Amino acid sequence: MKLEPFALERLQSIWENRVAWNLSESGVHPLRVEEVAGSADERAAILAQELGYGQTNGTPDLRSAIAALYPGATTDHILVTNGGSEANCVALMHLIRPGDEVVMMAPNYMQAPGLVRALGGSLLPWRLAGGPDEGRWRMDLEALAALVTSRTRAIFICNPNNPTGARMTEADLDEVCRIASRNGAWVIADEIYRGAELDGVETASAWGRYERVLVTSGLSKAYGLPGLRIGWVTGPPALIDELWGVHDYTTIAPGVLGDRLARIALAPAKRELLIARTRGIVGANYPVVKRWIDRRRGLISHVAPEAGAIVFIRYRHPINSSTLIARLREERSLLVVPGDHFEMDGYLRLGFGSDPDYLNGALDLLGEFLDALPTSASDVP
Ligand SMILES: Cc1ncc(COP(=O)(O)O)c(C=O)c1O
């Protein structure tokens, strides 16, 4: 199995802890252990936790807390993984055979393309329509219908979407499922940003719309807990059982401390607090970014994100996005993600989930940098 580089994660792995300013992160400022385990009993439970392997598919209590988020699901419908990334990984490793096609909503978190190709499959992008000129991103369902055939093993969606922050409606999801069902394709819905909505209205889930739906998700984005490395797959029990067998190869088990803290985080009252915290951060910080963008009208444009602490901005400067972000990193020690990493040059993805002072400092630097860039090809020295 030959894996191509996963450009977005490579960039972050190498640079995110070395730069002075990091706007490449797509989640909100993370919580500390003491904020999750708030009570004396919870802290005692953490300290008393024996560091064994634990239950390799997630403790029954954790799976039950996750199942409660998906109507009709039981503990048998849940596999706990190390982050949403392992959830996507085991799903694709199990489903994709050489010659299979995967139709992927694009742009997207680009884990699926590399994995699908390494597994001998091919990847067909299903591109979002619209964009900054239209003021919205749209799901072109006719285009999806034209891409899905008997060769399609899965339709891979990311809802809410990374990097645009666009959200699918119930009708969109029903139609995606209807198109998949015509050819018996699976729908894999990466819903890791669900819960991080700016308007507080929870994104519809693909769960329960069709018997071949797998939802992948986790605590890294909407819950502000990426360091726990807790994700999950929700799906039909027989398939979940097969995926558990793949997880025996990938990581065996989630860490027991992560599992324990995840149980605390997903207790209903705590979960509500964590989601409210995330919505508070994105709701307070997005207007800061929007004002910053609006001051550069004509040179930078965007579609307002509906969920997630990310904004996908289009710039007019005649410079390739990878070149731009490399210069930005070298000259200002500031990291952002280039549109190239989503196969959309001319865009940048900025994360706005950090502390407001830090965000303002980073935006000032980025603004100075962009304002000094030539704005037409004839200005380039
Ligand atoms: C859409 C999407 N899925 C999965 C992941 C990976 O999540 P985790 O850190 O939980 O492995 C990310 C991380 O950025 C993401 O954006």
**What pLDDT is recorded for position 257?**
98
Query: Cα dihedral sign for 143, 144, 146, 147?
Result: positive
How large is the average pLDDT for residues 98-117? Answer: 98
163 within ligand 1 shell (Cβ under 6 A): no
d(CA 196, CA 161): 11
pLDDT digits (tens, 9 = 90+) for 169-185: 999 999 999 999 999 99
Residue 330 has pLDDT above 60, yes or no: yes
d(CA 278, CA 343): 28
Q: Please give the structure tokens belonging to residue 67.
A: 């199942």
d(CA 247, CA 29): 29
pLDDT digits (tens, 9 = 90+) for 128-158: 999 999 999 999 999 999 999 999 999 999 9
d(CA 250, CA 267): 28
pTM: 0.97
Residue 381 has pLDDT above 60, yes or no: no
**What pLDDT is recorded for position 136?**
97
**What pLDDT is recorded for position 377?**
64
Q: Please give the structure tokens belonging to residue 228.
A: 């726990």
How large is the average pLDDT for residues 333-343? Answer: 98
**What pLDDT is recorded for position 103?**
98
Ligand 1 atom at minimal distance to the Cα of residue 231: 10
**What pLDDT is recorded for position 1?**
83
Q: Is 234 in contact with 57 (CB distance < 8 Å)? A: no
**What pLDDT is recorded for position 201?**
97
**CA 377–ligand 1 middle distance (angstroms):** 36
d(CA 339, CA 162): 12
Domain 53-267, architecture per CATH: 3-Layer(aba) Sandwich (3.40)
Q: Is 120 in contact with 179 (CB distance < 8 Å)? A: no
Query: Cα dihedral sign for 276, 277, 278, 284?
Result: positive
How large is the average pLDDT for residues 284-309? Answer: 97
The candidate with the shortest Cα–Cα distance to 215, out of 114, 70, 115, 111, is: 70
Residue 23 has pLDDT above 70, yes or no: yes
Query: Cα dihedral sign for 163, 201, 127, 347?
Result: negative
Residue 55 has pLDDT above 80, yes or no: yes
Testing ligand 1's pocket by substitution, the residue of 110, 192, 193, 341 carrying the most ligand atoms inside 8 A of its CB is: 192
Domain boundaries, the chain: 7-31+271-368, 53-267
Nearest CA to ligand 1 atom 6: 85
How large is the average pLDDT for residues 91-103? Answer: 98
Pick the CATH number of 7-31+271-368 from 3.90.1150.10, 1.10.1740.10, 1.10.760.10, 3.30.1490.20: 3.90.1150.10
**CA 304–ligand 1 middle distance (angstroms):** 21
